[in-house]
Amino acid sequence: MGKLRRIETIAVLLVAGFLIGGCSGSKNLTKEHTTITLNESQRREYNYALTEATKQKLFGNFGQAASLYKKCIEVNPNSDVAHFQLAGIYMINR
């Protein structure tokens, strides 16, 4: 009985060690997110392209929508919405 208890203790310590080690290994993997400030003209261009892209996607014109979402990404590379919607179009056309 003592030998089995010792094996269980070692197993628990190993699992705990792996869990603790696994939680702290990804601290340096995060990429800094740079902030982009759009001027008034860029903001209008981005909003127009995003609205038109969404409209074209709803109408089923996925090629035109993809082009417009790419335009949004050119104006604002940090646009989560444009990246997400473009990925959705790529998944539909797969």
pLDDT at 30 exceeding the cut of 70: no
* Among candidate residues 76, 4, 91, 6, the one with its CA nearest the CA of residue 41: 76
The reported pLDDT for the residue numbered 56 is: 97
pLDDT of residue 21: 65
Break the chain into its structural domains and give their ranges: 38-94
> Is residue 89 predicted with pLDDT exceeding 60?
yes
pLDDT over 90, % of the chain: 60
Which pLDDT tens digit goes with each residue over 36-73? 899 999 999 999 999 999 999 999 999 999 999 999 99
φ/ψ (deg, to 5) at 33: -100, 110
Residue 17, pLDDT > 70, answer no
